[in-house]
Amino acid sequence: MKLSHLGLILIMFPMILSANIINVPEDFESIQAGIDNAENRDTVLVQPGTYNEQISFNDKSVVVGSLFITTGDETYISQTIIDAEGEGRPVTFDYEEPRRPTLSGFTLTNGSTENGGGIYCSDYSPILNHLIITGNFAEADGGGMFCSRQTVPTLSNVTIVNNTAEGQGGGIYCRDSSGPRITNSSIVGNSAASGGGIYCNTSASPTLIDVVVSRNTSLSLGGGIACTANSIVRMTRVLIADNTAEQHSGGGIYMSASELELTNVTLSRNSTNGEGGGIFIIGVSILEITNSVLWGNNNHQVHSHGGPNPPAEITISYCDIDEGQDSIYIQGNANLEWLEGNINEDPLFVNISNYHLTQDSPCIDAGDPNSREDPDYTRADMGAFYFDPDYGIPEISNNPFPSEFEIIGNYPNPFNSTTTIIYQLPEMGQVTLSVYDLNGKLITTLFNNEQSIGIHQVIWNALDIPSGEYLYQLKAGSVLRTSKLILVK
């Protein structure tokens, strides 16, 4: 075995400094063999490729990462795949004593098992970042991820997409006082019998910050999120949109005997054939909503079925509510506190699939004046996305002779069908610009030709491309630059 002392600078996020680097497949052919031969705080560095295995961290606190952790190049996420081949799950964290390992820069796919199709996490608190968890299946709960027994995983920049559970939690299932902390992530297009995106059970306590929960479906309860059995859920700057509960209740959110705190949340265009297109409440529950927008949910924005004493408690302040207080349907034993600052005006989103605010929105500077100011140092806005007059428009230098090879950005982003990509070249040369999906499949090559020094722009018309997240890559010789764009229709 060849081990090299740590000579790489791990970038993009705080990570555990390692004693040694184990290279896969140079030192060991499989990721699991690399983990088995690692000591605590070592790094298992994985080259691009598809690894047909199911890895377990056992009792190790190690860093397992693709070349993303040394380069910051997001294309390595889709190029470095752990494929369980339908014979288990890609990743397991399960041990008697708590550990805090790191997994970063992979696509986890084709898991099939009882619980936790993509990731199973029990008595562990791993750091999970820059992952794509897709195409996994659970016969019971947690199509994408399963958390239990007080585990507190940290998820950031994670995309959980197109996973399925026959039971609960198509994207994530958490129970037994587990409390995942999820930031800057997307939970999209998952499905389950209940809790299409997320299912919280038995005193689970997840925290969501800067998260998108969209286009998830359930056959029964909670198209987007379901919270039951004394769960406590806190959300800040979260979009819950276009989710569906097909048969029963809670198109966006279903809650039973739980507590839910929504701050700067946009809850829109969720639907159900039952009750509570936006939120459905039953039992002794507490719901607090501040600085949020509930708009266009099919069949009441909030429907409370009440319960035994003490009654359910609903508190709403500084929110934009479609049809106002009339859309909060109280049935049974529940108290509604309709406080100051609430309005009933069209929030004027960018369009039906882009929930950013436009410049004339009544939600701008209309949040609780005692809340933290928005990043532009003005009074808090309502909704998940504060109004930014420069939203989606990259800053372009006036220098006609840039010194760096760089992607400046694309606008708008998210976009509907057409976006403009801006980049700069420090010298003349052959340049290629390509677009890939998150699995690394080439969608299109926008150009491959010689270009001059300076600032350049190219328009991508994605009229025939399905909605989703994509990566665009600029290449000149051996130099690559990658960025992400979001297509919504």
Residue 489: band (very low, low, confident or very high) from pLDDT cuts 50, 70, 90: low
Helix count (H) and strand count (E) of the chain? 3, 46
The reply to whether domains 4-357 and 406-487 share a CATH topology is no
Cis peptide before 90 (omega within 30 of 0): no
Phi, psi dihedrals of residue 33, rounded to the nearest 5°: -65, -35
Determine the 3-state secondary structure of 180 from DSSP: coil
Cis peptide before 369 (omega within 30 of 0): no
pLDDT at 17: 45
Mean pLDDT of 283-311: 91
Is the model's pLDDT at 73 over the cut of 90? no
Question: What is the pLDDT of the chain when averaged over all its residues?
Answer: 90
Whole-angstrom Cα distance, residue 54 to residue 355? 38
Class of 406-487 in CATH: mainly beta
pLDDT at 393: 66
User: For 240-265, how does the pLDDT look when each residue is reduced to its tens digit (9 = 90+)?
Assistant: 999 999 988 999 999 999 999 999 99
pLDDT at 261: 98
Whole-angstrom Cα distance, residue 97 to residue 397? 53
Cis peptide before 426 (omega within 30 of 0): no
Between 456 and 99, the more confident residue is: 456
Is the model's pLDDT at 155 over the cut of 50? yes
268, two tokens: 């829109």
Architecture field, domain 4-357: 3 Solenoid (2.160)
User: Which helix (H) or strand (E) covers residue 421, if one does?
Assistant: strand 418-425
Mean pLDDT of 150-177: 95
pLDDT at 4: 36
Is the model's pLDDT at 358 over the cut of 70? yes
Between 487 and 116, the more confident residue is: 116
Q: Whose structure tokens read 């004339």? A: 360
Query: Residues 250, 133, 170, CA angle at the centre, nearest 5°?
Result: 25
Whole-angstrom Cα distance, residue 106 to residue 46? 9
Q: Whose structure tokens read 């290449």? A: 475
Is the model's pLDDT at 15 over the cut of 60? no
Whole-angstrom Cα distance, residue 381 to residue 245? 29
Between 394 and 376, the more confident residue is: 376
In sequence order, the β-bridge partners of residue 335 are 313
Whole-angstrom Cα distance, residue 73 to residue 295? 38
Q: DSSP secondary structure string, 328-359?
A: EEE-SSEEEEE-TT-B-S---EEETTEEEEPT
pLDDT at 374: 93
pLDDT at 70: 93
Number of residues written out for the chain: 489
pLDDT at 305: 86
Is the model's pLDDT at 308 over the cut of 80? no
Rounded CA Rg of the chain: 23
Is the model's pLDDT at 182 over the cut of 70? yes
Is the model's pLDDT at 8 over the cut of 50? no
pLDDT at 12: 39
Is the model's pLDDT at 74 over the cut of 60? yes
Is the model's pLDDT at 63 over the cut of 70? yes
Domain range annotation of the chain: 4-357, 406-487
User: For 119-138, how does the pLDDT look when each residue is reduced to its tens digit (9 = 90+)?
Assistant: 999 888 899 999 999 999 99
Q: Whose structure tokens read 């949020």? A: 292
Between 65 and 438, the more confident residue is: 65
Q: Whose structure tokens read 């999120």? A: 225
Is the model's pLDDT at 317 over the cut of 90? yes
Between 424 and 218, the more confident residue is: 218
Mean pLDDT of 454-478: 87
